[in-house]
Structure 1
Amino acid sequence: MEFINESYINSLLEDEKLNHINLQREILLKASDAKGLTLRESAALLNISDPELLDELFHKAKEVKEKIYGNRLVLFAPLYVTNLCVNNCLYCAFRKDNKELKRRTLTVDEIEEEARYLVLTGQKRILLVAGEHPKKASMEFIGEAISRIYSININGNNIRRLNVNTAPLTLNDFKLLKSFGIGTYQCFQETYHYKTYKEMHPSGPKSDFAWRLYAMDRALQAGIDDVGIGALFGLTDYRFETLALLMHAADLDYKYGIGPHTISIPRLEPALNAPAAINPPHAVDDLSFKKIVAVIRLSVPYTGIILSTRERPELRRELFEVGVSQISAGSRTAPGAYKESQESLDEHELEQFQLGDHRSLDEVVKDITSLGYMPSFCTACYRSNRTGDRFMELAKTGNIGKICVPNAMATFEEYLNDFASEETRMIGKHFIDNELRKLSGATKRRTEEMIQKVDAGERDVYL
């Protein structure tokens, strides 16, 4: 717990000097360099209330995101393999004491069916999610599931990178997980406020605050060099949560030279028979939520900020404008729900939380393209050894875009050729033509060559 300094965070939250507009304006000017901010500077930006300065905050966040990642939005889908759990988290429908939830663990064959469904919608990146259960979510089971998912290949279409969100593991189990060929390991602290954490996790292994807090240290020590952290906003003061999350990111960067590859920003949404989700202790309004995203983007410019389908489409569009770089699309949060949702399965009896965005992947792709964002299905960095400190060097210097632009456009062209509806295809092809006109030199030549290969029938073309 030593690096989450609650007394220091509280002193920043109580510091009246951080409310001064001139100071906040100076910090926004500094943020333009995309080099990150101190915790004190981040605290000052969280205090912004002046409407004009808020607009400037949001503008700067968009500017910095585009400086690092351009107009790309990476797409993925979660795949839930079991909703059995031995924990009793008060905000989660999967909690052990929830007798109203229907429990289900997929077989490896059923997991393959779910993955095949996702492949046939155009997905290339999956986040495998499992409740914490020593038998139903064992490392052996996770390994078999990952192997089966990677084995799928339908005319060159497949899941090319599988990220994992599971309970914290021992050092040896993290080494085993790495051997399965995963991309990023995700684990969210949920809340960094110790008293709140203990209240929200009354029983089960998850009640051990420190074991969860140091999960990323063990993962990195085991050789998993891309990790993703996050907090569940709504359990305590969002300003405290944001600053603690930034403290965690800074600690990882300091100790390992590798900050979080991604930071996730889920907000409490209603969940079946989960009291804290039905009545959030510290509900976060939409404007404050936008502020959270913008401050994280300016404070940790290199990280991928992940936005889930918890949020409704209208708000998702606004959050794209303030720093989000990765989004889920066409998501389901119940085991078996992709295939069986086509057969009128009542997902609410099985799902972890209620979704805000129920649109299909094609609808989301059409929408974000119309808004001027490039849908990216790229997984190249994971397979070209651009992970860990190698990825960080490219991201922190703003050079990652030189590689990402051709890869993103090639994967988008592949999606348009293989899976898009006619309307989405027309919008997407026009978008790619316009984006190509913005390029020049070697980048343009390289991108055009990759697109030509895709149009000629090659798949999985990347740098």
Structure 2
Amino acid sequence: MNWQDEVKEDSFINEEIIENLLETHKKPTKEEFDKIIAKAHKHIRLELDEVAMLLNSSEQDRIDTIFKTAKEIKEEVYGHRVVLFAPLYIGNKCMNNCTYCGFKATNDTTIRKTLTLDELGEEVKALEDEGHKRLILVYGTHPDYTPEFMAETIRKVYETKSGKGEIRRVNINASPLDVEEFKVVKDAGIGTYQIFQESYHLETYKRVHPSGEKSKFKWRLFGLDRAMRAGIDDVGIGALFGLYDWKFEVMGLMQHVLHLEETFGVGPHTISFPRLNEANGAIKDPKYVVKDDDLKRIIAILRLAVPYTGLILTARETAELRKECMELGVSQIDAGTKIELQGYSKHKKEQDLRKEQFKIGDSRGLDEVMGELMTQGFIPSFCTACYRLGRTGEHFMEFSKPGFIHNFCTPNALLTLSEYLDDYASPETKKAGYSLVEKELKTINLGNAKDSILKKLESIKNGERDLYY
């Protein structure tokens, strides 16, 4: 395959439009701001000019309004549930030379490894023994990591069981493929395929990706188009904040959302907003460091801009900051995260950046994270019902956009939480969890559905598993 022949489309990232909108709407009026907030409350996706106005609304009273609205929208669309997952690194060999990454090809101090299938099985068992049900597999860019290899590892994860544990959804974070290669991966039963553009600003992209396949801006930019043409209708986008101006990158993410909606009738299933962290041999430009307060604005503005899309906050951030950000519209987080190869099975506690892509900020175990979420009033969820019942892509949005997905999210979250409480939780978490389940049941007003939920909860107590709506 010659990648130049594969990418004949014009880039959908229009830097001139982004810069003009940010400049033109530098000082939005109160009337303009209030109108955008009212539109967001209707769960209508915002336009580029409206997002630019929110990005330029730096007055504290407006920021407070954005934060409050983000919290309300998230609860209206998804309820109190927060989905949990764990990242699992399969291999860190890489042919790219991304300046910010500990895995870059020229970094000769990085200790390289690819998991064997047996080693992968041990990692999966360790994760299942903690209670995980959802994983995202992460691969470097290397000839060893073919679509066939990825498919083999996906099948290995699904077939590996430990006690009552099983993985019910495998997502992927890997290099872009061509359409036929994406089909190979899809046939193995993946959930969401993530490709982060890292930076939507072309000159910055070229600067931080000097060589390797990842240096090809358009090949990566249109990667998820090829995934969707291959039949993968749940895709995840993201930018690495700290490489360029954060307002520009939010606008780039929005242009990506618009492109997918206009081309395929459905936008991304998830949006991620990781910040640049310390990494072995990495270069960091202090000019574009994103402050904690600005990260909060990014999250909240994205929630207003795309109310029906999942927002992922990762363990790159500290436990304290993650706790603060949860109120701003986050719908997915990782927990019990270890990013060293074999980190789960060997119970690695301290990070060795020679073996890892970047420094993580929240190394707490799954049980501790779940306990904190519940004290905040969130329902930790391992639900995979939508994926397994075909509520993906356009079908998911049919439920999500009008807010109907809430009717599935809360019951399914309570069912998977109850599984966890019975099978894995510490006494403290179990106590908090059952109290939360009882409290949430009182708020459910779905007619006969409530009786069905109570019956399923009773079945779980009697040993049945994997019950969902």
Give the TM-score taking structure 2 as reference length: 0.96
Q: CA deviation at 1:18?
A: 4.0
Q: Which moved more, 1:204-213 or 1:96-105?
A: 96-105
Q: Which moved more, 1:68-77 or 1:345-354?
A: 345-354
Find the partner of 2:303 among 297, 304, 307. Answer: 297
Look up the match of 1:379: 384
Output one character per residue of 1:192-222: Cα deviation in whole Å (capped at 9) or x when no partner: 0000000000000000000000001000000
1:323 corresponds to which letter in structure 2? G
Find the partner of 1:163 among 142, 151, 171. Answer: 171
Find the partner of 1:355 among 355, 360, 364. Answer: 360
Alignment length, in residue pairs?
459
Find the partner of 2:85 among 76, 89, 95. Answer: 76
| 8 Å contact kept, 2:270–2:310 | yes
For 1:389 and 1:127, locate their aligned partners in 2 and report how far apart those are by CA, in whole Å. Answer: 22
Structure 1 unaligned spans of 5+? none
User: Does residue 322 of the first structure (1) align with residue 328 of the second (2)?
Assistant: yes
User: Does residue 35 of the first structure (1) align with residue 40 of the second (2)?
Assistant: no
For 2:38 and 2:232, locate their aligned partners in 1 and report how far apart those are by CA, in whole Å. Answer: 35
Look up the match of 1:331: 337
For 1:147 and 1:37, locate their aligned partners in 2 and report how far apart those are by CA, in whole Å. Answer: 39
Look up the match of 2:347: 341
| 8 Å contact kept, 1:416–1:424 | yes
| 8 Å contact kept, 2:102–2:354 | no
Look up the match of 1:232: 240
Look up the match of 1:456: 462
Q: How does 1:33-432 map to 2 (within 5 A)?
A: 33-135=42-144, 137-276=145-284, 279-342=285-348, 347-432=352-437
| 8 Å contact kept, 1:83–1:130 | yes
Equivalent position SS for 2:328:
coil
Query: CA 1:223 to 1:54, structure 2 compared with 1: closer, same or farther past 3 Å?
Result: same
Equivalent position SS for 1:76:
strand
Equivalent position SS for 1:321:
helix
1:456 corresponds to which letter in structure 2? N
1:318 corresponds to which letter in structure 2? E
For 1:393 and 1:16, locate their aligned partners in 2 and report how far apart those are by CA, in whole Å. Answer: 32
| 8 Å contact kept, 2:77–2:406 | yes
User: Does residue 434 of the first structure (1) align with residue 442 of the second (2)?
Assistant: no
Query: CA 1:419 to 1:208, structure 2 compared with 1: closer, same or farther past 3 Å?
Result: same
Q: CA deviation at 1:427?
A: 0.5
For 2:441 and 2:190, locate their aligned partners in 1 and report how far apart those are by CA, in whole Å. Answer: 32
Look up the match of 2:4: none
1:207 corresponds to which letter in structure 2? S
Q: Among all aligned residue pairs of Structure 1 and Structure 2, give the percentage whose two residues are the same amino acid.
A: 48
For 1:213 and 1:330, locate their aligned partners in 2 and report how far apart those are by CA, in whole Å. Answer: 31
Query: CA 1:13 to 1:107, structure 2 compared with 1: closer, same or farther past 3 Å?
Result: same
| 8 Å contact kept, 1:330–1:358 | yes
For 1:360 and 1:281, locate their aligned partners in 2 and report how far apart those are by CA, in whole Å. Answer: 34
Over the aligned positions, Cα root-mean-square deviation in angstroms equals 1.2
Q: CA deviation at 1:345?
A: 7.0
| 8 Å contact kept, 1:85–1:133 | yes
Query: CA 1:280 to 1:461, structure 2 compared with 1: closer, same or farther past 3 Å?
Result: farther
| 8 Å contact kept, 1:406–1:450 | no
Q: CA deviation at 1:156?
A: 3.4
Structure 2 unaligned spans of 5+? 1-9
Q: Which moved more, 1:441-450 or 1:453-462?
A: 441-450
Q: CA deviation at 1:384?
A: 0.6
Q: CA deviation at 1:145?
A: 1.1
The runs of at least 4 consecutive aligned structure 1 residues that moved more than 6 Å come to: none
Equivalent position SS for 2:297:
helix
Q: Which moved more, 1:238-247 or 1:398-407?
A: 398-407
| 8 Å contact kept, 1:376–1:411 | yes
Look up the match of 2:19: 10
